[in-house]
Amino acid sequence: MFLNNILFWIIATPFLAAFAVKLLPVRVAIKAGMLFLLAQLTLCGVIAAPVFSSKVLYLVIKNIFFVADPLSFVFGITSVFIGVFIYLFAVGYFAEEAPREQQKFAFWGLVFVGSMMGVVFSDNLISLYFFWELAGLCSWRLIGFYRKDEHLLKADKAFLITSAGAGFMLLGFAYIYIITGSMSISQIMNMQVSPFVFALVFLGVLTKSATLPFHTWLPDASVAPTPVTSFLHAAVLVKIGVYGLARLFGTTLIVSGNVMWAGYLALLSSFAAGVIAMRETDIKRILAFSTVSQLGFMVAGLMVFNPIATRGVVIFYVAHALGKGCLFLCAGIIEKFFGTKDIKQMGGLMKKAPLLTYAFLFSMLSVAGFPPLPGFYGKLETITGMLVGGHVFYGLFAILTSALTLMYMMRLFSNVFMGDGMEIKTERKGFAPMGVAAVLLATSSLVLGVMLVL
């Protein structure tokens, strides 16, 4: 029962913290948010051992179930972990902003993390949908953070696309209820649903995790401040789609028909985004297309319905979250360094910021799948699962996409870090917490990789 209470506090902490930062003095808002997230991370650490010893934790609040099992726990703790570093980064990033803006970021970021907690620990489809939409709402507020007209347009686009998808998903949930007679995920285990129901839910997943026809909102959302984009790409928003798919169709429901098209769509998205990233010149857009590409890979890995591939996707999710989180934080620092987002105008950062270079390089290699970094194990298991499941084409596509990832990442790296030195505006304050956050994330990536190899 004690552990179940902890599960309650894990879900409740971000929401309580969000209101606490509204009450606290505005200057300490982000720091307070970071401390709250650290507390939450500690709580997650407490339930880690029982969860992984396959003791599933249940929490019942007025007919709404919350469950912590290894899958949801991994997704939850990763978001909180990265959230801590994003808040640390934001301390430096927003150092020159008005304190009220800082408080707004702290508030909405915490609600964002809280809605992620709600999604991953929900055992009920309706509560899952509720938190799913809450996350969409937060993303709308955060993408249009500075309230400029063009930012608002992009925010509207993101919100409209994701919530339209979520509407279809709700329809799918209704069908699931009609077929199975239950809204509780733990009660509909191993039941069969038709491909049509799958397609409805998959629409929600596609829009949320930015796959091919619905992917354009994610690169556009890179107009947001860097901590926000980092949240969107690494910690919270787009990973909700992957989680939903892994939870509903990776471990729970069984699709009675052939849904290979879904995997091919994801792979196509993955490949197309990789090729587009070769062309873009805006550093954040390149990283955003990279996220689209990696998400397509993850969705395709889930679409082979193979336990090895599913495990690989979960590992790759963690690796990508750490790596891409760090890359976005680095991109934020680089943007502040050069005062531009255009990679053609950058160069020679290697000599001026060696630690940042290594952080960027290792995160990049992790995302591209170089051993002994964690991204490699994710890709290895996913592709193994694809081949074992007999989907050799999936594997070939995934390998080609990995190769593309390496190419555009190295292009980005060479443009930003190598070459001749540029004028750098180092007058800004607040570089210390930003650098520390990025380097710590890269280090945790390395540590995770070494832990996986041992």
Partner 1 sequence: MNINVWFLPVVISFGIALVHIIFKRAGRNVRRWISLIGAIGALGACLYSMFINYNVLSSGEILGLVFAALISFIGLFSISYSQWYNPEANFVYDGLLFLFLGGMFGVVLSHSLIALYIYWEIMTVASFFLILFKDTQESRRASLKYIVMTGVGSMFLLFGILGAWMVELNILWKHIFFACVLIGTGVKMGLFPLHTWLPDAYTAAPTPASAMFSGVMVKTGIYTLIRFYFAIFQPSWSLGWDAIMMVIGVITLLGGVFLALIQHDIKRLLAYHSISQIGYIFLGIACGTQIGLVGALYHAINHAIFKSLLFLGAGVLIKETGSRNLEDYGGLAGKLPLTFGVMTVAALSISGVPPFNGFVSKWIIFQALLAKNTGFSVFALVAALLGSVLTLASFIKVLNDSFMGVRKAKVSVPTVGKSPFMSIPLVLLAVGCLLFGVFPGFVTERFLFPSIGEYLLLNISLIKMASFYGWLAICFIAVIFILSRRWIKGVRKTSVFVGGEILSAEDTAFDGAHFYGTVKDIAPLKRFYSAEVSGMLDIYRRGLQFLPRIGKCVRAATVNAVNAVYEKGSVFLSKWVERLRLLQNGYLAKYLIWFFAGLIIIMEVIRR
Cβ at position 398, least distance to partner 1 in Å: 9
- Cα pseudo-dihedral 240, 246, 251, 253, rounded to 10: 80
With beta carbons less than 8 A apart as the criterion, state whether 445 and 322 touch: yes
Residue 147 — left, alpha, or beta (φ > 0 → left; ψ -120 to 50 → alpha)?
left
Position among 59, 90, 368, 412 found at the interface with partner 1 (CB under 8 A): 368
Identify which range of 103-111, 133-141, 166-174, 367-375 contacts partner 1 by CB under 8 A: 367-375
Identify which range of 42-50, 118-126, 248-256, 376-384 contacts partner 1 by CB under 8 A: 376-384
Asked if 60 interacts with partner 1 (CB under 8 A), we say no
CA 403-397-367 angle, to 5 degrees, is 40
Position among 38, 39, 174, 396 found at the interface with partner 1 (CB under 8 A): 396
Q: CA-to-CA distance for 194 and 205, rounded, in angstroms?
A: 17
230 vs 401, beta carbon nearer partner 1: 401
Asked if 452 interacts with partner 1 (CB under 8 A), we say no
With beta carbons less than 8 A apart as the criterion, state whether 126 and 173 touch: yes
Q: Which residues contact 104 (CB under 8 A, 6 or more apart)?
A: 145
Q: CA-to-CA distance for 135 and 244, rounded, in angstroms?
A: 13
Cβ at position 303, least distance to partner 1 in Å: 18
For 92, the enclosing helix (H) or strand (E) is: helix 70-93
- Per DSSP, what are the bridge partners of residue 255? 193
278 vs 447, beta carbon nearer partner 1: 278
Side chain identity, residue 127: S
Position among 50, 167, 372, 430 found at the interface with partner 1 (CB under 8 A): 372
Asked if 369 interacts with partner 1 (CB under 8 A), we say yes
Identify which range of 238-246, 259-267, 321-329, 363-371 contacts partner 1 by CB under 8 A: 363-371
For 333, the enclosing helix (H) or strand (E) is: helix 307-338
Cβ at position 124, least distance to partner 1 in Å: 33
Asked if 291 interacts with partner 1 (CB under 8 A), we say no
Residues 268-287 that bind partner 1 (CB under 8 A): 272, 275-280
Identify which range of 224-232, 238-246, 258-266, 371-379 contacts partner 1 by CB under 8 A: 371-379
Position among 187, 216, 251, 252 found at the interface with partner 1 (CB under 8 A): 216
Position among 20, 152, 406, 440 found at the interface with partner 1 (CB under 8 A): 406
Asked if 402 interacts with partner 1 (CB under 8 A), we say yes
Distances (CA, A) of 15 to 7, 11, 67, 109, 128: 14, 8, 18, 10, 16
Q: CA-to-CA distance for 103 and 81, rounded, in angstroms?
A: 21
Q: CA-to-CA distance for 432 and 264, rounded, in angstroms?
A: 44
Asked if 407 interacts with partner 1 (CB under 8 A), we say yes
Q: CA-to-CA distance for 263 and 122, rounded, in angstroms?
A: 26
Asked if 213 interacts with partner 1 (CB under 8 A), we say yes
With beta carbons less than 8 A apart as the criterion, state whether 206 and 245 touch: no
Total residues interacting with partner 1, rule: CB under 8 A: 46
Asked if 371 interacts with partner 1 (CB under 8 A), we say yes
Asked if 64 interacts with partner 1 (CB under 8 A), we say no
Position among 219, 301, 312, 374 found at the interface with partner 1 (CB under 8 A): 219
Asked if 103 interacts with partner 1 (CB under 8 A), we say no
102 vs 382, beta carbon nearer partner 1: 382
Handedness of CA 203, 210, 297, 393 (dihedral sign): positive
Identify which range of 2-10, 99-107, 206-214, 336-344 contacts partner 1 by CB under 8 A: 206-214
Asked if 174 interacts with partner 1 (CB under 8 A), we say no
Asked if 399 interacts with partner 1 (CB under 8 A), we say yes
DSSP code string of 258-301: --HHHHHHHHHHHHHHHHHHTT--BHHHHHHHHHHHHHHHHHHH
Question: What percent of the chain is helix, strand and coil (3-state, nearest 5)?
Answer: 80, 5, 15
Asked if 319 interacts with partner 1 (CB under 8 A), we say no
Max CA distance (Å), the chain: 65
Identify which range of 5-13, 177-185, 193-201, 381-389 contacts partner 1 by CB under 8 A: 381-389
Cβ at position 275, least distance to partner 1 in Å: 5
Cβ at position 387, least distance to partner 1 in Å: 5
Q: CA-to-CA distance for 163 and 133, rounded, in angstroms?
A: 7
Position among 48, 380, 424, 440 found at the interface with partner 1 (CB under 8 A): 380
- Crossing angle for the helix pair 99-121 and 2-23, to the nearest 10 degrees: 160
Contacting positions for partner 1 (CB under 8 A): 157, 161, 212-216, 219, 272, 275-280, 350-351, 365, 368-372, 376, 380, 383-384, 387-388, 392, 395-396, 399, 402-404, 406-407, 410-411, 413-414, 418-420, 453
